[in-house]
């Protein structure tokens, strides 16, 4: 067995990929010697390829007398798949791996920061800046995930120091860069100049030179380096219209770790070993919002109906992470917000009418600067009035809360009156139309206002309407905008229910029997309403007192204890709220009758006749019938044998009955009388027993008849009397023959017990006979017995024949048997003494080829067999067929296929010559009897069958040919106008095609749009050059298509977009600045709203007067297309004073007298529209240090020629503005040194 003592030596060459296991030596020990050939050691390296090494035979070192086995293996891991390597070893015995022998080793396994889990990257990948906006503090962070960091590999993480360097302006393209870009590294460092060129390009790196504008320091991420900490220097650039959309500046980040270490040389880093990633400062365009609206049919429109879905098609252009905010307002001014949406293409509907404003705000959230814009459009929702119907009582004008009424089932009926009033909500306009419609119970329109289906622009009503007949009466008020044809409808319903017609049935019973009640109430519903409640009063006394146990019972039994007449009441309530009570006063329970009788004898021989007398026949009860019931002892009990009614003619209470006994012992019959009244009550008498003694029997058999034989007529049958009947020694045997028609024969054989008779069936149906034997005893008692004999008919073989076809080549005879439905028809056809065919079937057509040499004598014979397998005698007919004279019709018709206007066919008769008659049929209702038909011209297209018939007395032959005349295929052409223009471009297409089916035109406009009209109009929304295809068919479906390539050119329309700042400025000194964000345009026209215009790209404008101004920009492209954008209330100009006081300044330390306000060396407020000025500066003890009445002269921080110390000082400033108002301000000013 394997011992637990295992020796292992393990070592690797290095920590970074590729890592080689230089030694993995393992020794396994056994307690007993092993056969070396049965032992192996398996190494599993657990690399991505699942590599293994199996050491066997000579590769093993065997020691300890065969108890110790040692192996050594090595392996190289090339790829940093995981952050550690875990090879394992197993002992293998006789080919089986021993799982408990596992030896697992591990070593850490690192690589560069782009291997394994590692990823070198910067964030963001692109620093987007909106066009004509400044670049402000653009910073890239090292967002790498370090290889084998402590999170991924907590046991042996790669926490060695990293080195990171940001290099600015690599791979530089001066024509498409960011101009005047600087970075801040202690102070501003210029990267690019005004033309886009690098200011001070440098090159570093010996093996892999890198050229850039600026090299940042090689920063260290110190141990433990668990994650990145580096960031680039902030970069800035002023807004510059020359920085076009798509221009960008590249920043490259280099990464080194312990597996690709930095060489430590700042001047020439080993870039060839570094892992590289790049980021970009890039100029992006602001999104340009636009949209239009469509209806559900896809038609572009701004007119919609109330509650109609409006499909918004977003036409916003621009790249980046664009976000959308839609604002749906309930008014044209945009003050009542209904809902917002952030969908790109939302769907919205308005519940009320009117002009509605929709605002679309767009923003590029991923870009720096002002990258948002908005646009508004309006839609017109009609009608502006929402239909509503008011219902009141016409007498009191009180509003109706219930629209349900209950009407009687019979006259007099109630007249239910309702007043209908137009109470529609909203605002009526001159185009608002109203229409009232009143429908009867069958939903037929019976009243409309105005009549003729129109709409009234004035208020209609009120309407007083009566309702009498049950049913649902619909009233509809429709409000329509007569311009857009949008409608709103309010529908109300008056329900007139018919009261239920209560009824119930019950049976008249005898005392002791339950009365059966069934609710038979009828209801004519108008809304499938049913009966919701039934209540019963089983002994109604004028006041309804229900029996709770019978609530909602429809069918039930109720037992009254005594006979008599009761009144029963039923109350029903319907789902419509209608209630009715019915009372029935004649629920009767009847008493039972009497039943007694006597018999004139109680026994006798069979057949025994007994007379019974009904002794209860004179009772006063009204009797319906008396039933005589007999029990014959068979076990079936008493059965009704006779029924007598007092109303029967000659009824006297007497009943006579014959009792038969065919056995050899006495038979007892029990007789009783049942009396039944006209009300169904009955009583039964005590039974009387009648005893009947035995009578004679008569039995016989047929000796040679079996019903399983064919028994075809005639059949002779022998009969013999059975021994039991003979043992009674009858004195005479009488044989009677009969069928369904009655007795046919009667023969006495005296005392001879045998009889012979021949049965004949002359019909075509089965004939059943009966044979009856009467055996007469010497005592004159007799008995009868009867057997049946079935005789089958003999079928008929008669048949008819007729000539179906008589041609030159053959004669077809139709043979038809007269009798149908037989089992078999056996025909034999002989021609000139030779049997030619033996067909079957009740009818057939037989073809006889005509001989060209001799006449033919045809003999036809038929034998039939019916269902009983009875054969018929044969029937034969002879037919004479003359010989064939030899006619053969043929011709040619050429050409067989032509296209109009070619339609003439040349016909050549190639029939066998002879004195024949000819008839040509050309298939177009024209014929000819000439032997040689002339060329024939067809007047229209089609497929025609030409037939030639050649005749000689009784010999006829025909030949046909088919020719085709095809129609002219369509000739397609069209014109168009205009052929070019700005998007969206609407083009009128004029169809000039010929010979085409007008309903088959299919247009393909090349932009995905299609049409099927004859002369369509199509609008191109996208710029491009388009080919147009027209396809059509003629009446036969021939398809023709033409394409006119690149005939429509749609020019790209420019997009006008701009921003201005500031929003409020002082006049006349402050300037308005413009930011032209238009794209696709080359020239511009600005209108500043004060009568002044400009054609500059980004002009500056100075206003001279106060006011609020709307600014518009028209952008033109070289194709002559233009787009206009206006900003309402874009700027407000005011004349006002302003005083802005700084809170700190840093004096010039070289001496007093500085006037450099821009460098913040002098404390002086910024002022506008100030006419008088006075400023005092004090130290914290109140000592006056500086005084000035000159708005151009400020404190330089000096007092008596000495620079004041860094401290907080107090100022007091008093000014007077140009409007005469005075203002005083005090505060603190920090002097910094």
- Do 581 and 619 fall within a single domain? no
Average pLDDT (1162-1187) is 91
Q: Rounded to whole angstroms, how far apart are CA atoms 519 and 554? A: 5
- Do 570 and 618 fall within a single domain? no
Spatial CA neighbour of 1000 closest among 1009, 1012, 1015, 1016: 1012
Can you give the pLDDT at residue 776? 80
Burial state string for 302-339 with b = 16 or more CB within 10 A and e = fewer than 16: bbbbbeeebbbebebbbebebebebbbbbeeebeeeee
Domain count along the chain: 12
Can you give the pLDDT at residue 1? 58
Cα separation of the two ends of the chain? 90
pLDDT-wise least confident of 70-74, 233-237, 427-431, 811-815: 427-431
Q: Following DSSP, what letter does each residue of 46-76 receive, concatenated?
A: --TT--EEEE-GGGSEEETTTTEEEEEEEEE
For residue 368, give both structure tokens: 């720096």
Average pLDDT (629-649) is 92
Reported as a single tens digit per residue, the pLDDT across 73-111 is 999 888 766 788 889 999 999 999 999 889 998 877 888
Average pLDDT (30-57) is 91
pTM reported for the whole predicted model: 0.40
Average pLDDT (510-521) is 92
Query: Residue 998: what are its φ and ψ, rounded to 5°?
Result: -60, -25
Reported as a single tens digit per residue, the pLDDT across 531-575 is 999 999 999 999 999 999 999 999 999 999 888 899 999 999 998
Strand partners, 988: 977, 1017
Query: Given pLDDT bands bounded at 50, 70 and 90, which one contains residue 914?
Result: confident
Asked whether residue 113 is assigned to any structural domain, the reply reads: no
- Do 159 and 246 fall within a single domain? yes
Q: Please give, one letter per residue, the 3-state secondary structure of 1027-1083.
A: EEEEEEECCCCCEEEEEEEEEEEEECCCECCEEEECCEEECCCCEEEEEECCECCCE
Query: Given pLDDT bands bounded at 50, 70 and 90, which one contains residue 939?
Result: confident
Q: Which long-range contacts (CB under 8 A, 24 or more apart) does 45-53 make?
A: 45/21, 45/75, 45/77, 45/85, 45/87, 46/85, 46/86, 46/87, 46/88, 47/75, 47/77, 47/81, 47/85, 48/79, 48/81, 51/75
Asked whether residue 1019 is assigned to any structural domain, the reply reads: yes
Reported as a single tens digit per residue, the pLDDT across 782-802 is 778 889 999 999 999 999 999
Reported as a single tens digit per residue, the pLDDT across 1198-1227 is 998 899 999 999 999 999 988 788 889 999
> In this structure, are strands 416-422 and 463-467 parallel, antiparallel, or unpaired?
antiparallel
Average pLDDT (156-177) is 94
- Do 1046 and 992 fall within a single domain? yes
Reported as a single tens digit per residue, the pLDDT across 953-982 is 778 888 999 999 888 888 899 999 999 999
Q: Rounded to whole angstroms, how far apart are CA atoms 30 and 101? A: 12
Can you give the pLDDT at residue 947? 95
Task: Tell me: pLDDT of 1068 over 90.
Answer: no
Tell me which of 335, 366, 382 is where a domain ends. Answer: 382
Reported as a single tens digit per residue, the pLDDT across 1003-1028 is 999 999 999 999 999 999 999 999 99
CA torsion angle for 232, 237, 243, 246 (degrees, to 10)? 20
- Residue-number span of the structural domain to which 904 is assigned: 891-955
Between residues 1051 and 152, which one has the greater pLDDT? 1051
Q: Let me know: does 1101 contact 1072? Beta carbons within 8 Å.
A: yes
Asked whether residue 116 is assigned to any structural domain, the reply reads: no
Task: Tell me: pLDDT of 644 over 70.
Answer: yes
Asked whether residue 1012 is assigned to any structural domain, the reply reads: yes
CATH number at 941 reads 2.60.40
Asked whether residue 114 is assigned to any structural domain, the reply reads: no
- Do 160 and 276 fall within a single domain? yes
Reported as a single tens digit per residue, the pLDDT across 816-868 is 999 999 999 999 999 999 999 999 999 999 999 988 788 899 999 999 999 88
Reported as a single tens digit per residue, the pLDDT across 1-35 is 576 667 888 888 888 888 888 999 999 998 899 99
- Do 920 and 830 fall within a single domain? no
- Do 205 and 341 fall within a single domain? no
Tell me which of 771, 791, 811 is where a domain ends. Answer: 791
Reported as a single tens digit per residue, the pLDDT across 656-679 is 999 988 776 788 999 999 999 888
Can you give the pLDDT at residue 1139? 84
Asked whether residue 652 is assigned to any structural domain, the reply reads: yes
- Do 549 and 483 fall within a single domain? no
CATH number at 826 reads 2.60.40.10
The overall average pLDDT reported for the chain is 91
Q: Rounded to whole angstroms, how far apart are CA atoms 99 and 586? A: 101
Q: Let me know: does 31 contact 1? Beta carbons within 8 Å.
A: yes
CA-CA distances (angstroms) from residue 13 to 45, 108, 457? 16, 11, 99
Task: Tell me: pLDDT of 779 over 60.
Answer: no
Can you give the pLDDT at residue 1165? 92
Asked whether residue 435 is assigned to any structural domain, the reply reads: yes
Average pLDDT (166-186) is 96
- Do 1007 and 1062 fall within a single domain? no
Q: Let me know: does 624 contact 647? Beta carbons within 8 Å.
A: no
DSSP H/E element including 724: helix 723-726
Can you give the pLDDT at residue 462? 95
Query: Residue 233: what are its φ and ψ, rounded to 5°?
Result: -70, 145
Tell me which of 1134, 1167, 1185 is where a domain ends. Answer: 1134
Asked whether residue 42 is assigned to any structural domain, the reply reads: yes
- Do 911 and 1017 fall within a single domain? no
Three-class secondary structure of residue 452 per DSSP: helix
Can you give the pLDDT at residue 810? 86
- Do 316 and 371 fall within a single domain? yes
- Do 315 and 169 fall within a single domain? no
Between residues 779 and 822, which one has the greater pLDDT? 822
| % pLDDT > 70, the chain | 99
Can you give the pLDDT at residue 596? 93
Can you give the pLDDT at residue 1042? 96
Can you give the pLDDT at residue 780? 65
Average pLDDT (197-214) is 95
Burial state string for 712-739 with b = 16 or more CB within 10 A and e = fewer than 16: bbebebebebeeebbeeebeebbbbbbe
């Amino acid at each position: 067995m394997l011992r637990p003592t295992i020796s292992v030596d393990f070592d690797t060459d290095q920590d970074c990929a590729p890592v080689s296991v230089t030694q993995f030596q393992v020794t396994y020990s056994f307690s007993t010697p092993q056969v070396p050939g049965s032992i192996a050691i398996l190494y599993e390296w657990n690399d991505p390829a699942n590599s293994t090494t199996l050491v066997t035979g000579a590769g093993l070192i065997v020691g300890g007398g065969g108890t110790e086995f040692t192996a050594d293996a090595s392996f190289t891991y090339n790829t940093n798949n995981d952050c550690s390597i875990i090879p394992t070893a197993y002992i293998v015995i006789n080919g089986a791996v021993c799982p408990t022998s596992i030896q697992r080793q591990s070593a850490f396994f690192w690589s560069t920061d782009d291997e394994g889990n590692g990823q070198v990257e910067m964030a963001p990948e692109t620093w987007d800046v909106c066009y004509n906006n400044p670049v402000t503090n653009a910073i890239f962070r090292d967002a790498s995930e370090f290889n084998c960091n402590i999170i991924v590999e907590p046991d042996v993480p790669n926490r060695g120091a990293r080195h990171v360097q940001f290099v600015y302006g690599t791979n530089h393209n001066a024509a498409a860069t960011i101009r005047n870009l600087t970075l801040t590294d202690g102070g501003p460092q210029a990267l690019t100049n005004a033309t886009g060129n690098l200011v001070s390009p440098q090159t570093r790196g010996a093996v892999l030179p890198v050229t850039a504008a600026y090299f940042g320091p090689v920063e260290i991420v110190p141990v433990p380096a668990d994650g990145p900490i580096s960031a680039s220097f902030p970069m800035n650039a002023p807004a510059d219209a020359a920085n076009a959309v798509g221009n960008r500046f590249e920043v490259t980040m280099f990464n080194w770790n312990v597996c690709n270490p930095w060489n430590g040389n700042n001047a020439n880093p080993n870039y060839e070993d570094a892992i590289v990633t790049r980021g970009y400062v890039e100029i992006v365009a602001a999104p340009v919002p636009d949209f239009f609206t469509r209806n559900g049919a896809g038609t572009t429109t701004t007119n919609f109906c109330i509650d109609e879905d409006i499909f918004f098609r977003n036409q916003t252009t621009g790249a980046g992470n664009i976000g959308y905010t839609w604002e749906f307002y309930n008014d044209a001014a945009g003050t009542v917000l209904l809902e917002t949406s952030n969908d790109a293409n939302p769907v919205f509907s308005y519940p009320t009418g009117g002009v509605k404003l929709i605002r679309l705000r767009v923003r590029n959230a991923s870009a720096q600067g002002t990258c948002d814009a908005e646009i508004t459009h309006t839609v017109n929702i009609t009608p502006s009035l929402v239909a509503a119907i008011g219902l009141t009582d016409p007498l009191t004008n009180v509003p109706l809360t219930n629209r349900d009424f209950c009407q009687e089932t019979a006259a007099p009926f109630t007249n239910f009156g309702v007043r209908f009033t137009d109470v529609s909500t909203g605002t009526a306009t001159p185009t608002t139309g109203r229409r009232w419609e009143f429908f009867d119970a069958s939903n037929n329109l019976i009243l409309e206002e105005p009549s003729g289906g129109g709409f009234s622009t004035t208020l209609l009503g009120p309407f007083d309407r009566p309702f009498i007949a049950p049913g649902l009466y619909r009233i509809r008020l429709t409000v329509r905008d007569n311009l857009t044809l949008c409608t709103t409808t309010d529908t109300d319903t008056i329900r007139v229910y018919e009261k239920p017609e209560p009824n119930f049935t019950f049976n008249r019973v005898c005392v002791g029997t339950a009365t059966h009640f069934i609710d038979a109430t009828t209801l004519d519903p108008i809304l499938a309403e049913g009966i919701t409640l039934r209540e019963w009063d089983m002994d109604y006394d004028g006041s309804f007192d229900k029996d709770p146990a019978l609530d909602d019972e429809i069918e039930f039994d109720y037992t009254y204890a005594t006979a008599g007449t009761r009144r029963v009441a039923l109350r029903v309530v319907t789902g419509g709220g209608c209630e009715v009570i019915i009372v029935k006063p004649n629920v009767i329970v009847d008493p039972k009758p009497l039943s007694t009788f006597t018999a004139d004898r109680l026994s006798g021989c069979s057949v025994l006749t007994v007379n019974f007398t009904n002794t209860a026949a004179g009772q006063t009860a009204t009797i319906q019938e008396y039933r005589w019931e007999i029990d014959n002892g068979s076990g079936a009990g008493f059965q009704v044998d006779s029924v007598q009614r007092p109303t029967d003619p000659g009824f006297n209470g007497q009943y006579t009955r014959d009792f038969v006994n065919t056995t050899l012992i006495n038979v007892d019959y029990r007789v009783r009388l049942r009396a039944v009244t006209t009300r169904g009550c009955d009583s039964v008498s005590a039974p009387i027993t009648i005893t009947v003694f035995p009578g004679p029997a008569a039995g016989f058999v047929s000796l040679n008849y079996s019903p399983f034989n064919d028994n075809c007529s005639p059949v002779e049958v022998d009969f013999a009397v059975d021994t039991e009947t003979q043992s009674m020694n009858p004195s005479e045997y009488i044989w009677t023959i009969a069928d369904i028609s009655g007795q046919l024969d009667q023969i006495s054989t005296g005392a001879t017990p045998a009889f012979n008779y021949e049965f004949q069936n002359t019909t075509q149906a089965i004939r059943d006979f009966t044979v009856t034997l009467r055996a007469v005893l010497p005592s004159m008692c007799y008995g009868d017995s009867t057997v049946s004999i079935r005789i089958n008919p003999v079928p008929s073989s008669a048949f008819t024949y007729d000539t179906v076809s008589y041609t030159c080549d053959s004669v077809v005879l139709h043979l038809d048997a007269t009798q149908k439905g037989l089992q078999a028809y056996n025909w034999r056809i002989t021609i000139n003494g030779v049997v030619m065919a033996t067909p079957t079937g009740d009818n057939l057509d037989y073809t006889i080829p005509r001989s060209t040499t001799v006449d033919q004598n045809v003999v036809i014979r038929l034998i039939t067999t019916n269902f009983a397998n009875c054969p018929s005698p044969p029937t034969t007919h002879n037919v004479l067929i003359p010989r064939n004279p030899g006619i053969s019709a043929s011709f040619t018709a050429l050409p067989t296929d032509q296209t109009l206007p070619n339609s003439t066919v040349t016909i050549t008769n190639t029939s066998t010559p002879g004195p024949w008659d000819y008839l040509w049929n050309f298939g177009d209702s024209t014929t000819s009897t000439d032997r040689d038909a002339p060329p024939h011209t067809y007047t229209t297209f089609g497929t025609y069958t030409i037939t030639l018939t050649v005749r000689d007395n009784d010999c006829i032959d025909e030949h046909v040919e088919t020719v085709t005349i095809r129609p002219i295929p369509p000739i397609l052409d069209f014109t168009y106008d205009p052929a070019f223009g700005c998007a969206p471009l609407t083009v009128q297409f004029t169809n000039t095609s010929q010979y085409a089916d007008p309903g088959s035109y299919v247009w393909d406009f090349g932009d995905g749009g299609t049409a099927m009209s004859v002369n369509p109009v199509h609008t191109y929304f996208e710029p491009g050059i388009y080919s147009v295809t027209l396809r059509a068919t003629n009446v036969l479906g021939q398809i023709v298509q033409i394409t006119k390539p690149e005939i429509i050119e749609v020019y790209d329309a420019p997009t006008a977009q701009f921003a201005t700042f500031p929003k409020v400025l002082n006049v006349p000194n402050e300037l308005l600045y413009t930011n032209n964000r238009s794209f696709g345009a080359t020239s511009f026209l600005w209108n500043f709203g004060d009568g002044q215009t400009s054609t500059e790209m980004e002009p500056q404008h100075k206003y001279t007067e106060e006011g609020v101004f709307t600014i518009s920009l028209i952008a033109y492209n070289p194709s002559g297309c233009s787009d206009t954008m206006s900003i309402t209330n874009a700027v407000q100009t005011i004349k006002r004073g302003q005083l802005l006081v700084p809170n700190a300044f840093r004096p010039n330390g070289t001496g007093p007298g500085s006037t450099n306000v821009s460098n913040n060396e002098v404390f002086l407020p910024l002022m506008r529209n100030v006419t008088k000025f006075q400023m005092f500066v004090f130290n914290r003890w109140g000592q006056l240090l500086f005084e000035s009445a000159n708005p151009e002269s400020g404190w330089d921080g000096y007092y008596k020629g000495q620079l004041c110390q860094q401290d907080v000082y107090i100022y007091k400033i008093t000014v007077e503005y140009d409007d005469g108002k005075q203002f005083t301000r005090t505060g603190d000013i920090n002097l910094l040194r």
